[in-house]
Every structure is written in structure tokens, then in C-alpha cells.
Amino acid sequence: MLAITLLTFKEVIRRRIILITLFLTLVFLVLFGTGVHYGYEEMAGQAGPLEMMLTQQFLALGLYFGSFIVAFLAIMAVVGAISGEIEGGTIYAIVPRPVKRSAIILGKLLGYGFMLCVFAVLFYIAILLIIRFNTGLNVPVKPAALGLFCLQPLILLAVSLFGTTFLSTLANGIAAFMLYAIGVIGGMMEQIGYLASSEVLIQIGIVSSLIMPADAIYRKIVYSLLATPEVSMASMLGPFGSMSEPSAWMLLYTGLYILCFLVLAVRIFSKRDL
């Protein structure tokens, strides 16, 4: 399994997925940093609470689009993990050896999972440093929120690994992106439902978070970072905020969600005729 993990690292580097993502992430961080600098500069001399409000909005904005970036990396890196090797014929050099197919799935899980977690940690810290450097305000790291930010790409990793065991690379990519879009749009509709007091929209959001819980994890991150005993800034961000904090049951469900897709991926790949 360790050999598969190392091969996974080499494959990601060979395909230049991480290099392209790092370049585009750097572009995003430069633009984000520029926006934070001049946006906060315009607010210089304003009341303290107003400055804090703007800072928190920038934090939520950075993490929101950061979620898209890590989701993009998770899907694009994993989408052809098995199907691409089958289409290219490289899988046949691995499978005939005394390597269990479950070890192949788990090895790729460890390789991609480690890469995604490192990327998510660096991105999260970069957002906080940009805000702290440009505003001078202390934004706590909050390890729990950092852990949840790392959890987001792991959800898409499990889903993409499942899809790559029986779908073509293109079909798997489309399915994973559409599934992620369902979660994001449903999460927005749920927040609008809270603002408009629409029970139907709220229920749609809950159902969508069960179909794809990645957006619910983002809402929990925002709520944990921006909610205070006095007022919840997370509720003032509209569709990009969180009117209510997802419960611990959602975290348990997310863990079972990931485990379920991994078990299905191992089961389907083990029975697949190559």
C-alpha cells in the first residue's frame, strides 16, 4: 500500500496537476490580498466594529472561494485515478502483482488525502496571514475550523474514488462536479430560506447537504469562526454565511458518508473485470 501511495505522489507531479493548481492559487491569493489591502485601507478611521465586520467578510469570502479551489483540486486530481490507468493500460502493470485491489484504493486514498490536506492547511493559513498582514487584526487559527477545512476535499476524494472505479474519466468528472454543485446551490437556498422564512427552501438545503455534505462543512466553518455570543456575523453574509450551525450529527454523517463511498469503491473495483 505504501508503494501505491508513493506512486500516487509521482503521478500527481507527472501530470502537473498540483503545479497548475498552485499557480492558479497564487494568482487568486494575490488578487485576494490586493482586494483586502485596498478595501481595508478605504475603511481606515471608521468605527472599530465596522472594521471588524469588513475583516470577517473578507475571511468568509476567502474561505468560500478557497473551498471551490480545494474541491477543484480534489476532483481533477482523483477523477482518473483508476479509470485513467485502465484507459491508458498502466493498471495492468500493477494488478497482476500480488497486490490486493483494496490496497490500491487505500494507497491512492492516502496519497491523494495527504496531498489535499497539506494544500488545504497551507491555503487556510495563507488566507489568515493575508488578512492579518493587511488589517493588523488578530484572526485566530482555530484548529477545529482548520480540521473542517481539510475535511471538505476528503469528501470529494471519496466520491471521486468511488466514481473512478466504474465510470470513465470524463463521466466521473462531470458527476463529481454536478454533485458538488448540488450541495453548494442547496446550501445557498437554505440560507435564503432562513432569510425569507421559507420552510421549503430550508428543507431543500437540508436534503442537498445529505446528498453532498461538503457545503454544510463550509457553513460550520464560517459559523465557528464568525459567531460570537453577542452577534453572529455568519448570519449577516446572506447566502455565503450560515444562519444556523450544522450539528455534530452532520459531522458524524459526513464521516459515515466518506466511509460508505470508500467501501463501495473497494467493493466495485475488487469485482471489476479488467
pLDDT band at residue 48 under the 50/70/90 scheme = low
What local confidence, expressed as pLDDT, does residue 232 receive? 52
Report pLDDT digits (tens) over 10-29.
777 677 777 888 888 999 99
Cell of 178: 454536478
Q: pTM (2 decimals)? A: 0.88
Q: Tell me the pLDDT of the chain averaged across its residues.
A: 83
Rounded Cα distance between 228 and 26, Å, is 31
Q: What distance in Å separates the CA atoms of residue 267 and residue 123, rounded to the nearest whole number?
A: 34
Supply the DSSP symbol for 227: B
188-215 pLDDT tens trace: 888 888 888 889 999 998 999 999 999 9
pLDDT at 228: 54
Average the pLDDT over 229-247 and give the result.
64
Give me the mean pLDDT over the 233-259 stretch: 80
- Separation CA 172–CA 262 (nearest Å): 15
77 and 115 Cβ atoms separated by less than 8 Å: yes
Mean pLDDT within 219-226: 84
**Helix/strand number for the chain, H first, E second:** 10, 0
Residue 116: pLDDT band (50, 70, 90) is: very high
User: With 90 as the cut, is the pLDDT of residue 123 above it?
Assistant: yes
Q: Which of 33-37, 78-82, 230-234 has the lowest mean pLDDT?
A: 230-234
pLDDT band, residue 229 (cuts 50/70/90): very low
pLDDT (average), residues 145-166 = 93
DSSP per position, 32-74: HHHHHHHHHHHTTTS-HHHHHHHHHHHHHHHHHHHHHHHHHHH
pLDDT more than 90, % of the chain = 36
Q: What is the DSSP letter of 247?
A: P
Place of cell 450541495: 183
| pLDDT in the model for residue 274 | 62
Higher pLDDT, 206 or 97: 206
Q: Report which DSSP code applies to 137.
A: -
pLDDT value at residue 236:
57
More confident residue, 46 or 114: 114
Total domain count for the chain? 1
Residue 117 pLDDT exceeds 90: yes
Answer yes or no: is pLDDT of 230 > 50. no
In the predicted model, is pLDDT for residue 231 greater than 50? no
| Residue pointed to by grid coordinates 497539506 | 118
- The pLDDT score that the predictor gives to residue 47 is 52
- Full residue range of the structural domain in which residue 266 is found: 2-271
Average pLDDT value for residue range 32-37: 88
Q: What is the pLDDT of residue 97?
A: 60
